Structure 1
Amino acid sequence: MITFKVEGDYIPMIQLLKATNLVETGGEAQIVVAEGEVKYNGEVDYRKRLKVKKGDLVEFRGTKIKVI
């Protein structure tokens, strides 16, 4: 599990995937979100601009990201 400390109130989903090095580019992040490969708090979520906040759990290809 990756623990990610968010600066401010939130981080957009595509930026979180890039910041944790799970994808290489923003374009790749948009594709994997649009294809339903990302879970947000246990549910598949297709929103690219989703605001991920402290306490949220994101899962991508078996890797979990806990946002603190």
Structure 2
Amino acid sequence: MKLNQFLKWHNIVSSGGEAKILINSGQIKVNGEIEKKRGRKLVKGDKVMFLKSELIFE
């Protein structure tokens, strides 16, 4: 699953455009590092962080 799809699936964003803005602004971290590629493929066990929330891709 791609990062932007994951954010929509977890209701962090309501649209792909909103996901793009959040990701490009550096507000999303994957495995502790800022991620700027919205098409990044998540693999099992990846930790996605937004603000103080941490979600694990399973």
Query: Which TM-score band (shorter chain)?
Result: over 0.9
TM-score, L = length of structure 1: 0.82
Matched, 1:31 2:21: yes
- C-alpha separation between the residues in 1 aligned to 2:57 and 2:35? 16
Choose which of 30, 37, 44 in structure 2 pairs with 1:40. Answer: 30
Matched residues, percent identical? 36
Larger Rg belongs to: 1
| Partner Cα distance (2:12, 2:52) in 1 | 11
In the superposition, the TM-score normalised over structure 2's length comes to 0.95
RMSD of the TM alignment (CA)?
0.6
Q: 1:3-37: CA deviations, max 9, x gaps? A: xxxxxxxx100000000000111100011000000
- Using CA pairs under 8 Å that are at least 6 residues apart, name the structure with larger relative contact order, 1 or 2: 1
Q: Gaps spanning 5+ residues in structure 1: where?
A: 1-10
What 5-or-longer segments of structure 2 have no aligned partner?
Answer: none
Aligned to 1:49: 39
The range that moved more, 12-21 or 54-63, is 54-63
Spell out structure 1 runs of 4+ moving beyond 6 A: none
Answer 1 or 2: which has greater strand percent: 1
Distance, in Å, in 2 between the alignment partners of 1:61 and 1:52 is: 19
Larger helix share, 1 or 2: 2
How many residue pairs match? The answer is 58
